[in-house]
Amino acid sequence: MTTRCPGWLGAFMTILNRIRSLAVLLATTLVVAGPASAQQASPAPGQTAPVRVASGVQYELIARWDVARLNQILTTDTPKFAGITVSYTPARNAVKLYRVTYPSVVPEQGNRPISATGLLAVPDTAETVFPMVSYQHGTVYGKEQVPSFPEQSPETQLMIAQFAGQGYLVTGADYFGMGASKEPEGYLVKGSHQQATYDMVLASRAVLADLKLSDSKLFLSGWSQGGFVTLAMLEKLEAVGMPVKAATTASAPADAFAAFNGFLNFPRKIDASWITTIFMLNVFSFENYHNIPGLARSLLTDETYEISRKAYYREPFDPAAVPTDLRKLIRPEYFEAQFFANSAYGRLVAETSAYRWVIKTPVRTYYGLTDEAIRIEIGQLPMTYQKAIGNDKVEAVPTGDTSHRGTFATAVPQWKAWFDAQ
């Protein structure tokens, strides 16, 4: 005798069978889709799959720029970016661009292990040994406006075109929190900047060894924030005994405490409207990397805290709502010099300098006479300090009546001419 299921149970069994059928179909689809998904993830034309080398370093070819592309950067793209026309030495060779992923640590957090990214640009020539420039990038607001995403970084493009297009290796760290990094940004966090750049040089040399190439001598260069990072990097490399042939900067805030005091207490008519963003990025970076909850709230007004937080974490926000007046961004008490100096934030800023050691490497710091972000005296500060102790290794070089970007664009060919002579 056949027993019939109650109506509700029959309906349940029907649904259950459909679910089972759907599960089988889904599993089959996933198995079939596996190779297709892998095909979709395959490198685009002109790119290669990642290659893993020693110590967890990984690299992948992301592009090859020919001489015509490099010269377009020098003659057309850079003048648009910098607002100034500068004469550059034309490129003579194509360049291969590699994105490098490498292990590093966060010194401020007990050397917590992390992963970071950067760029290695290699001249596409028959040579196997090249001079190398480590370039430290300036302040950017897009997470991918950094060396390892060169299409989004005009400053990196100029370095590639002027140096790699002339037979130099060019390497550049994205800094922690930038590029493909999963960390929050570490803006002007000195120890992390030093670690990121030092480890990027080591990673670049591991990649070069895998490519059967090598560097003959190391130079350092950086603009704006990257000027500070370059000097901090030099301090680190001299401390560990890694030889550096020469170093250059443009518009470098070598002493954040001096620069920030100028913005707060002695503003100039030409000060850039985006100076507020420096404080926004820096205070959240200090809060995260030095593990000081509430540091940003202690500095920023209640009205601007949330938009500052969104800007730092790269969450959607209205750029037009970002204040351009420091007095609208920062609490009133910080405009009293002693309060700022004694505050938790001010004490961290006071530790953010990179020129107060006995520099052994020849250094040239380039500065503009009408730079809207860096005062003349800040540009001269590393030289002034070193001369005060009797050291003549640092020379400050003016670039004329140049803006912040114009100072960089003008300095680059002078950097190269000096490096060529070393």
Please count the CA atoms within 13 angstroms of the CA of 244 that sit on its side-chain side: 27
pLDDT at site 82: 97
Residue 293's domain comprises 275-350
pLDDT mean over 217-228 = 98
Is residue 167 a part of any domain in this protein? yes
19-23, 116-120, 123-127, range with the lowest pLDDT: 19-23
pLDDT at site 419: 98
pLDDT at site 54: 79
Asked whether the predicted pLDDT for residue 27 surpasses 90, the reply is no
CB under 8 Å to 29, separation ≥6 — which residues? Answer: none
What does the block give as tokens for 126?
């028959």
Is residue 263 a part of any domain in this protein? no
225-270 pLDDT per residue, tens: 999 999 999 999 999 999 999 999 999 999 999 999 999 999 999 9
pLDDT mean over 29-43 = 39
Asked whether the predicted pLDDT for residue 30 surpasses 70, the reply is no
* Three-class secondary structure assignment of 148-203: CCHHHCHHHHHHHHHCHHHCCEEEEECCCCCCCCCCCCCCCCHHHHHHHHHHHHHH
Give the global pTM: 0.89
Residue 55: pLDDT band (50, 70, 90) is confident
Asked whether the predicted pLDDT for residue 22 surpasses 60, the reply is no
Same domain, yes or no, for 142 and 199? yes
Same domain, yes or no, for 308 and 236? no
Asked whether the predicted pLDDT for residue 1 surpasses 50, the reply is no
Same domain, yes or no, for 321 and 294? yes
What is the average pLDDT score of the chain?
91
Query: Is 268 in contact with 375 (CB distance < 8 Å)?
Result: yes
Residue 91: pLDDT band (50, 70, 90) is very high
Is residue 158 a part of any domain in this protein? yes
Q: Are strands 112-123 and 129-136 parallel, antiparallel or unpaired?
A: unpaired
pLDDT mean over 372-381 = 98
Identify the domain boundary among 350, 375, 398.
350
Distance of CA 243 to the CA centre of its chain: 23
Same domain, yes or no, for 249 and 300? no
pLDDT mean over 186-195 = 98
From first CA to last CA, the distance across the chain in angstroms is 101
Same domain, yes or no, for 331 and 365? no
Paired with 129 in beta bridges are 214
Query: Is 360 in contact with 330 (CB distance < 8 Å)?
Result: no
pLDDT at site 93: 98
Residue 45: pLDDT band (50, 70, 90) is low
- Greater confidence (391 vs 18) lies with 391
303-351 pLDDT per residue, tens: 999 999 999 999 999 999 999 999 999 999 999 999 999 999 999 999 9
3-state secondary structure of 339: helix
- The pLDDT > 70 percentage for the chain reads 89
Is residue 8 a part of any domain in this protein? no
Q: Which amino acid is at 313?
A: Y
Report CA-CA distances (Å) from 54 to 62, 170, 207, 208.
Answer: 20, 20, 9, 11
pLDDT at site 20: 40
Is residue 262 a part of any domain in this protein? no
49-58, 168-177, 231-240, range with the lowest pLDDT: 49-58
Nearest residue to 289 via CA among 416, 363, 192 = 192
Asked whether the predicted pLDDT for residue 183 surpasses 90, the reply is yes
Residue 48: pLDDT band (50, 70, 90) is confident
Asked whether the predicted pLDDT for residue 12 surpasses 50, the reply is no
pLDDT at site 43: 63
Same domain, yes or no, for 149 and 61? yes
Q: For residue 416, give the CATH number of its domain.
A: 3.40.50.1820
Same domain, yes or no, for 340 and 243? no
Asked whether the predicted pLDDT for residue 65 surpasses 70, the reply is yes
Same domain, yes or no, for 148 and 240? yes
Same domain, yes or no, for 331 and 373? no
